[in-house]
C-alpha cells in the first residue's frame, strides 16, 4: 500500500509530491540501517509517520490506484521518504518487477522527474543477500530503466566498498557516510562521492525539489548521468551510533 502526499511540507525535499510505503512489507532484511535500528526513518517525526502507515492509520492507495494517480503528481516528485519499492508478494527482499516497470513507463510518459532510492539488495552476500534475490532485483531495475532512460533508480549503499561493486554493475548509487566526512571523497575503485548539497548548504530554503540541480538541470539524485555517487552524512537521533557502525565500532 502506498501513502501519497500531494505536496510535502518537508523542509528538506520542498513542496513536491512524495510517497511512503509500508516499511514492514517493503524494507529488505538486508538493509544495514534496518538491521541496526539506526535508520533516520525509525525515529523522530519520520518514525511517527512510519508507524502510522505500517499500522494502517493513514489513507493509502493500491499499486494500481497509485499508477492511475501518477499524472496528478508534481513534475518533480519523491518516491518513498520511508519504506521501499513494493515487494514481490511477501518477499521483502525482491522488487515487484511488473510494478516498477509500469511506474517507470508512467514517469516517462508524463515527463516527470522522480527522485528514487532502493535498499533492495543487488549485491550477493552483503548482509545475507541471496543470489536469487539480487539477480531478480538487478533484472527488475534494468528492465525499468529500459522503459525510462531518464530515470535514476539509486542503489542505497552502506559503505564505499559497496559503491564500487554497485557502480561496476552500472547502477547510480548513494552511500551513507559517517559524521565528519569530507564533502568530496574517492572510493578505492576511483568512484567520486559528493555529499548531498542540502546537507552542506547554509542557504535557507534549499530543497531537493526546488534548489538542488546537476549540470544537466535535474535534482542530482534524479540524474542518471550525473557522473558521481551522492553521499548522505549520518543524521537524525541515531547518527552517532550509525557513525560507529560505519567505522566498524559496532
pLDDT exceeds cutoff 80 at 248: no
C-beta of residue 237 within 8 angstroms of C-beta of residue 43: yes
Alpha helix positions (H), the chain: 23-26, 32-36, 44-54, 63-69, 97-109, 131-147, 160-168, 197-200, 239-246
Quote the CA–CA distance of 124 and 129 in Å, as a whole number.
5
Look up cell 539524485; give the residue: 221
Cell of 91: 518477499
Nearest to 22 by CA among 65, 64, 48, 52: 52
Residue 249 has pLDDT above 60, yes or no: no
* Residue 189, all three cell numbers: 575503485
* Interstrand relation of 229-233 and 173-177 (parallel, antiparallel or unpaired): parallel
Show Cβ contacts of residue 37 under 8 Å, excluding neighbours closer than 6 positions.
238
Residue whose C-alpha cell is 508524463: 110
What band does 250 get if pLDDT is binned at 50, 70 and 90?
very low
Q: Measure the CA–CA gap between 173 and 226, rounded to whole angstroms.
A: 11
Cα separation, 168 vs 17, whole angstroms: 32
Q: Can you tell me the distance from the alpha carbon of 150 to that of 179, in angstroms, rounded to the nearest whole number?
A: 32
In this prediction, residues 108-132 reach a mean pLDDT of 97
Residue 200 pLDDT greater than 90, yes or no: yes
Q: Which of 149, 152, 140, 154 is nearest to 101 (CA)?
A: 140
> In the structure, what pLDDT confidence band is assigned to residue 120 with cuts at 50, 70 and 90?
very high
pLDDT higher than threshold 70 for residue 223: yes
Instruction: State pTM to two decimals.
Output: 0.93
Query: Rounded CA gap, 12 and 88, in Å?
Result: 30
Instruction: Look at strands 87-88 and 91-95 and give their pairing.
Output: antiparallel
pLDDT tens digits, one per residue of 233-246: 987 767 787 787 77
Q: Whole-angstrom Cα distance, residue 73 to residue 61?
A: 14
Average confidence score pLDDT of the chain = 93
Q: Confidence class of residue 156 from pLDDT cuts 50, 70 and 90?
A: very high
Among candidate residues 239, 240, 237, the one with its CA nearest the CA of residue 44: 237
5-10 average pLDDT score = 94
Q: What would the pLDDT profile of 21-37 be if each residue is shown by its tens digit?
A: 999 999 999 998 888 88
- The stretch 82-101 carries a mean pLDDT of 96
Contact between 78 and 208 under an 8 Å Cβ cutoff? The reply is: yes
For residue 177, the cross-strand partners are 233
The phi and psi torsions of 118 (rounded to 5 degrees) equal -145, 140
Amino acid at each position: 500500500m502506498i501513502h501519497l502526499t500531494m505536496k510535502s511540507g518537508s523542509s528538506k525535499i520542498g513542496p513536491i509530491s512524495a510517497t511512503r510505503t509500508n516499511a514492514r512489507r517493503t524494507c529488505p532484511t538486508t538493509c544495514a540501517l534496518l538491521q541496526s535500528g539506526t535508520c533516520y526513518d525509525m525515529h523522530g517525526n519520520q518514525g511517527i509517520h512510519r508507524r502510522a502507515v505500517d499500522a494502517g492509520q493513514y489513507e493509502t492507495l493500491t499499486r494500481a490506484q497509485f499508477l492511475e494517480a501518477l499524472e496528478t503528481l508534481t513534475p518533480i516528485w519523491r518516491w518513498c521518504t520511508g519504506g521501499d519499492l513494493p515487494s514481490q508478494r511477501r518477499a521483502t527482499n525482491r522488487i515487484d518487477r511488473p510494478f516498477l516497470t509500469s511506474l517507470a513507463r508512467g514517469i516517462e510518459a508524463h515527463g516527470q522527474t522522480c527522485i528514487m532510492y532502493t535498499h533492495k539488495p543487488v549485491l550477493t552476500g552483503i548482509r545475507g543477500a541471496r543470489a536469487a534475490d539480487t539477480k531478480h532485483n538487478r533484472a527488475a531495475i534494468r528492465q525499468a530503466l529500459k522503459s525510462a532512460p531518464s530515470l535514476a533508480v539509486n542503489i542505497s549503499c552502506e559503505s564505499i566498498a559497496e559503491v564500487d561493486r554497485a557502480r561496476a554493475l552500472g547502477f547510480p548509487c548513494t552511500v551513507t557516510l559517517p559524521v565528519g566526512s569530507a564533502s568530496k571523497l574517492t572510493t578505492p575503485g576511483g568512484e567520486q562521492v559528493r555529499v548531498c548539497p542540502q546537507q552542506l548548504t547554509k542557504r535557507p530554503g534549499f530543497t531537493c525539489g526546488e534548489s538542488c540541480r546537476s549540470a544537466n538541470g535535474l535534482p542530482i539524485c534524479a540524474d542518471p548521468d550525473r557522473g558521481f555517487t551522492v553521499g548522505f552524512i549520518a543524521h537524525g537521533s541515531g547518527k552517532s551510533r550509525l557513525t560507529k557502525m560505519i567505522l566498524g565500532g559496532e
